[in-house]
Structure 1
């Protein structure tokens, strides 16, 4: 068998084999000693920044180091120029180690007998940051090997990114972005030439050159770098001269602490992110925090406040203040009241009216009766204990009257209404085992402020409710239907305060649809306001749930809401939203609730302008307990005298039918004499007897009509009167000037204390809606 000749090892082949062995060795070493690269994306140091990139709050790593992630593209070009010009002029041309720089450094060391300038490249400096080593020959060789590895794995852009984020800048600051904000109060993208040069020299001696402690040394080092950039032709002399004129001024290192509770919420949501982009606006956040801090100082210890400002269309949070005094233990400053479950008071009432509009039960001028009513044992009253009789829906909502809201919820059904809110993302929290009930209209449930703000924003977003969006990483959601666009538009108009209402004067605030609320026992004061651009929610109270006597929404929260609205930038105040095609204006008549053009003028006792949805004009409905709604009732009258006839008349009469527009019986005590006369049948003919008990059958005993009451001489106390309702059925409610004064059994007397002098109207209402009324004067 022939023997094959050995291949000849030519010089070329020897070189190739040597190179192959060299690269194989490098590959093996790289595998045996991998780079200890930090993972910036999951580093424990976290910074939450606002929508413009300004830090809101920073969370240090386990070493207490502050680091704000930044990419080379986000840093000022002036800083990159100064850094490369100072540290590594051939950064883009060498492979991690610069032989020329090493030779220069070695020659200077031999000539001067000491180190004059180093030969480390930026890559070698990054190698020392990620893999610390002793300052020795072996340490230097290890640093050079790591630098080559960095070039191999990351390239120039990756190496520069590591330096920008991990270079030491003194104290607990690492990275140029943290240093820029820490010392200069601005992002590194907005550095001036002088500031860029200052930060470029700091990592060489961060403790000795800290500008907050040693401004003179820092300025000397900066000017030395500026001169070098001029001498080497990197920056022209004019640019350097301008930079030299800028003094080194650094602020004291204080970690950012804006929106602390929002930042904490975001950190829990994104636990592995080094940088979290919030939707907040830092400038607005500062303003809102300052306003709440100033506002809460007027209240005793234990009291706090919270506010949320969002975009109405997307529900992006612009300002998030969960507590008015973060870190203040006396005010429970660690509790985020935006996420606390609290009783909403009356703040859910607009969405009762909105659903009633969509269900075709009302329009904006529907007749509702604010008078004592019994809803199967539930007998609500108003906040001020007054009753106003017949009111239109818009007035009832603006004045936050309780009984009309409960009456509407009774018609809608508590369970379907709660389900509609749940579909929109707001699930009311009720005690375990409790079904939806009428008390929810007045706050007998729990809700969170961030959820309430989402509901009110829907009034300016065509009825679409969304969840709070706090992170820029969250994609905008389509939202869920809460109300039709027309119903949302009408409710918003109903909530807009009229300028002649001093209590709710908007003071020129455009398109502000606002509602207040107070929970039972003065525990929570609310004010929610929406404009086409932003929606603001305010809460004031005690985080521990104890009462704050005398403080309620219109006093504690509404003025603060007005201040926040006044502080909004002008460009956030958009023009009013256009009216949907489903909404029209018309004039309707009370008591029947029909359009004027469809009503006989004799039956139109009052005319009101109304906003009507989908051309639906529902008739007036009866208050609870009345069998018949407002209607046309025909009675027999004598065609000659016009007197009413009954089945028990002695004489002979020529009869005719006379139609009468009847008001709800419960509304009659509040009607003026003429309107009441038009609503009742004519007086009975003298020769006839009543064949049914009259509606106004109650007689008040104890005070005569037109009497004047005063205390006996020498008695400084207010006069008292004992009254009783003759002919009453069931319990009797007594109203003095429209305010509930007491309740008595049908045959029981009630003692009234007449504390206020002047004309008085006393009304008695029994369980069958019959009433009696007497007018008198207290002197």
Structure 2
């Protein structure tokens, strides 16, 4: 076999030089090259070109696209010095190397060096052929000669660097650089580069995680060839294969599903920030009940660029939290997070001003009777306080005046797509009775941060020019932001009062805990809950989500960008200085609606049928200002009444009308029948 190999090489070299040039050229030119276009992994890269995630190709292999410009020139020089020092001067086959290999084989009785050029190795990798027989070697030589005539030296090197095996499912220099050293091949040290030069010759026998001594010896031979410094020999070899980057996996899945033919997706995500936000999402669920998940989205509201998005704490089913579900895109109840928009719309409609007084008292709209979260009522207070305390009655009153359809239109104008559980919107949407995603809520708050009109959020790098319609005025947006910035940050956070405008929310049944806020540059949204919608008892947005929100702000920037100054036409006065119609909120039907403290007849009720006993009829009153006057069928029967309980002397059978008038002239009446 060795003699045949040597004779073949000599015949090839001598034959070409002995006048067979024309036949030889015809033979080479007739060579059919395999395709040099190879399948490479789909990649998602961040705003700076860093790899966020890659997908495997056939047979579960990873093969990352690589050009020579992305490779350290020192690595190329080392590769050529060790593998093929006459690479740039030969035509695909190196006669000198072949003669040397033949001489060594003949004299020593075994193959000491193969004589293969880098072009021949690239040819072998293209055809995935072996080198054990002289027919295979002849085929590689023919392919190498043909490749040199049809490809540039740069293209040949790129074929080799794309196909070279580096152990296990790793193919190509760039994939190997990530697998063994966790970095791009432009950043390799001399010792790291030497190992990657040596590995392709025996990728399994020299795998550093399985055969570290063989890997060190092979690396040492490469280092010796290039005259490396002594300390390079002492560097340890990697003892395990590193996982490939897997940042923003939900986004990567989404991009691949939307455009399955694209090999590369360049996104606005910042890899450094994404890693920090992903770690924060994991920490957010520590100590939480089983199945609780978290999602965080960070964007620059000035440009609309999404800088980080964690769809779950773990991209797995670990802990029962359905980590494969992207909760930045999941439709949930927004709880109280829509209240700022309600107030902003009410400001624009002239219904109220931040310092308008509004009554937080029991109210009902047919069968719908909203309650505050704690079941208590605060009475008359300013709109500013109502929003800061996240009371429920005032925003429902304002929604009644605005109309639920106007609120839905405002949400759509802000760039969101709210989902209604039924057909027609009702007052319940004011308190979260509508479906929204975290991404949509962040879009809404980005619009408020930008004065009522904002760029549409996007992860596509370079996507500019698309923005929402104006949905509130700059004055209304500033007024809401100013109120929200007055909410005290959670205890233990580094933020100071007034640095961040934020709102928390908790959906019905403690299914969702929210916190969304912004400063002068960034907007961040946080959600915690169970993806399957089951309750998380005791979960409140202010307690669970708000601290995570402020931690996220701390990771985005060490210093807050200030919130904007008020617009020049903003009305900043006290309640007393407001125009009279704005001093106290009254609905359009207020003239026909009893005042909250007007007198009420608790007993007898309207339409009651009572049996006459001859002892009179008991009367029980509520509210109203003393003293009161009671009339029966228009005739005063009690005057200067200063008690809320009394007995009425009604002797006539049949229908009677009981009227009560308080000291302010406000009246209440009921009609009864006495049998």
TM-score (norm 1): 0.70
Q: Distance in 2 between matches of 1:37 and 1:538?
A: 47
- Residue 380 of structure 1 is matched in structure 2 by 370
Q: Does the Cα contact within 8 Å between 2:356 and 2:575 map onto a contact in 1?
A: no
Deviation, 1:170, is 0.7
1:622 corresponding residue in structure 2? 586
Tell me, yes or no, if structure 1 residue 317 matches structure 2 residue 213.
no
CA-to-partner distance for each residue in 1:597-632, whole Å, 9 max, x for gaps?
xx8xxxxxxxxxxxxxxxxx9564414751289xxx
- Distance in 2 separating the partners of 1:463 and 1:416: 15
* CA-atom RMSD in angstroms: 3.4
Q: 1:327 aligns with which of 316, 321, 342?
A: 316
After superposition, the C-alpha distances for 1:60-119 in whole angstroms (9 at most, x for unaligned) are 223111223222212222222211221222223333333333233223323323222222
Partner residue, 2:458: 469
Question: Residue in 2 aligned with 1:35?
Answer: 34
Contact 2:178/2:244, CA 8 A, preserved across alignment: no
1:366/1:96 Cα in 2 relative to 1: closer, same or farther (>3 Å)? farther
Q: Which moved more, 1:459-468 or 1:540-549?
A: 459-468
1:579 to 560, 565, 569: 565
Instruction: Say whether residues 1:141 and 2:138 are aligned partners.
Output: yes
Does 2:55 align with 1:59? yes
Alignment of 1:197-212 (within 5 A): 197-212=194-209
Matches within 5 A, 1:635-674: 665-666=595-596
**In 2: Cα distance, 1:269 partner to 1:420 partner:** 28
- Partners of 1:524 and 1:541 within 8 A in 2: yes
In 2, Cα distance between the equivalents of 1:102 and 1:527? 71
Residue 240 of structure 1: which of 229, 239, 246 is its match?
229
2:168 aligned partner: 171
Residue 71 of structure 1, aligned match among 57, 67, 71: 67
User: Cα gap change, 1:146/1:241 in structure 2, threshold over 3 Å: closer, same or farther?
Assistant: same
- The counterpart of 2:339, out of the listed 325, 349, 368, is 349
Tell me if structure 1 keeps the 8 A contact 2:301–2:454.
no
Per-residue deviation at 1:477?
A: 4.2
Where does residue 588 of structure 1 map in the other structure? 574
Correspondence 1:109 to 2:105? yes
DSSP-derived class of the 2:226 partner: helix
Pair 1:73–1:248, CA change in 2 (3 A): same
Q: Tell me the residue number matched to 2:410.
A: 420
What is the aligned counterpart of 1:528 among 500, 504, 516?
516
Matched, 1:725 2:621: yes
C-alpha spacing 1:543/1:425, structure 2 compared with 1 (3 Å): same
Q: How much does 1:515 deviate?
A: 0.8
Q: Distance in 2 between matches of 1:557 and 1:770?
A: 47
Shift of 1:580: 5.6
Residue 651 (structure 1) aligns with:
none
Residue 262 (structure 1) aligns with: 251
- Tell me the residue number matched to 1:227: 224
- 1:341 Cα deviation after fit: 0.9
Alignment gaps of 5+ in structure 2: 1-19, 604-618, 625-643, 646-661, 669-675
* Contact residue 490 and residue 547 of structure 2 kept, 8 A: no
Alpha-carbon displacement from aligned partner over 1:513-538 (angstroms, at most 9, x marks no partner)? 11111111211111112222322211
Partner of 1:710: none
Aligned length: 596
Matched, 1:442 2:431: yes
The Cα offsets for residues 279-336 of structure 1, whole Å up to 9 and x where unpaired, read as 3333333333333323323222222222222222233333222122332252222222
Q: 1:402 to 1:108 in 2, by over 3 A?
A: same
CA shift, 1:264, in A, is: 1.6
What's the CA shift string for 1:385-434, capped at 9, x where partnerless?
A: 222222323222222122221222223222233123223321110125x1
The answer to whether the Cα contact below 8 Å between 1:69 and 1:275 also exists between their aligned partners in 2 is: no
Whether the aligned pair in 2 keeps the contact of 1:341 and 1:446 (CA below 8 Å) is yes
Query: Counterparts of 2:588 and 2:146 in 1: how far apart (Å)?
Result: 84
Q: Give 1:403's aligned residue.
A: 393
Aligned to 1:632: none
Residue of structure 1 equivalent to 2:330: 340
The CA deviation at 1:700 is 8.8
Aligned to 1:636: none
Please name the residue that 2:649 is paired with: none
Structure 1 segments unaligned to the other structure (5+ residues): 1-17, 231-238, 600-616, 630-663, 670-695, 702-722, 729-747, 750-765, 773-779
Q: How far apart are 1:190 and its partner, in Å? A: 1.2
Which one of 543, 546, 560 corresponds to residue 531 of structure 2? Answer: 543
Counterpart secondary structure, 2:344? helix
> Which secondary structure does the structure 2 equivalent of 1:69 belong to?
coil
Contact 1:332 1:543 in 2 (8 A): yes
- Tell me the SS of whatever aligns to 1:309: strand
Partner in structure 1 of residue 93 of structure 2: 97
Q: Which residue of 2 aligns with 1:705?
A: none
Q: Within 5 Å, give how 1:293-308 maps onto structure 2.
A: 293-308=282-297
SS at 1:148's partner residue? helix
Query: CA shift at 1:127, angstroms?
Result: 1.4
Tell me, in whole angstroms, the C-alpha distance in 2 between the residues paired with 1:478 and 1:580.
Answer: 26
Stretches of 4+ aligned residues off by more than 6 angstroms: 18-25, 501-506, 768-772
SS at match of 1:464: coil
Q: Is the CA contact (8 Å cut-off) linking 2:358 and 2:382 kept in structure 1?
A: yes
Cross-structure match for 1:735 = none
Provide closer, same or farther for how the CA distance between residues 389 and 58 of structure 1 changes in structure 2, counting only shifts above 3 A. Answer: same
Q: 1:485 to 1:273 in 2, by over 3 A?
A: same
Flag the 1:296–1:578 CA change in 2: closer, same or farther, 3 A: closer
| Structure 2 residue matching 1:627: 3-state secondary structure | helix
How far residue 356 of structure 1 moved from its aligned partner, in angstroms, is 2.8
Shift of 1:366: 2.7
Q: Following the alignment from structure 1 to structure 2, what is the Cα–Cα distance between the partners of residues 552 and 422?
A: 27
- 586 and 466 in structure 1: CA distance in 2 versus 1, 3 angstrom threshold: closer
Match of residue 283, structure 1, among 264, 272, 279: 272
**For residues 453 and 545 of structure 2, what CA distance do their matches in structure 1 show?**
26
Aligned residues of 1:201 and 1:225 also touching (Cα < 8 A)? yes
Distance apart, 1:559 and its partner CA: 2.2
1:392 equivalent in structure 2: 382
Report the Cα offset of residue 380 of structure 1: 1.7
Whole-Å separation in 2 of the counterparts to 1:189 and 1:315: 32
Secondary structure of the structure 2 residue equivalent to 1:307 = strand
